[in-house]
Amino acid sequence: AQKITQTQPGMFVQEKEAVTLDCTYDTSDQSYGLFWYKQPSSGEMIFLIYQGSYDEQNATEGRYSLNFQKARKSANLVISASQLGDSAMYFCAMREGFLDFGNEKLTFGTGTRLTIIP
């Protein structure tokens, strides 16, 4: 089974609209972290937002927010007021068992390519 599932290979959104990128995860650990990264066409990986499994509130960072629904095992990224510069690949990632030494790896999803239309 996939650890991280991103079901939207591509999305097109009108500039200034909000967009939700879906991410579901699979883990039996109680302690885990969920991350979103942005990869523009230039190739670098830019950290956007983090949500810990014990965090009570949804994470927010500027125009980015994470809609964390623990029971449904989903961690959707919401981008408000989209801009042309938001056009990129977006990856959801998970780190499991962060209370244990030797569990540092991030497991990535296959990504969603977001295109903002002017």
Q: Please report, as ranges, the residues that interact with other proteins according to CB under 8 A.
A: 31, 33, 35, 37, 42-47, 50, 52-54, 59, 91, 93, 98-99, 101-111
CB of 76 to other proteins, least distance (A): 18
| CA gap 50, 92 in Å, rounded | 10
CB of 42 to other proteins, least distance (A): 8
57: DSSP letter: S
CB of 62 to other proteins, least distance (A): 14
* 118, 84 Cβ separation under 8 angstroms: yes
CB nearer other proteins, residue 78 or residue 98 = 98
Q: Which residues contact 62 (CB under 8 A, 6 or more apart)?
A: none
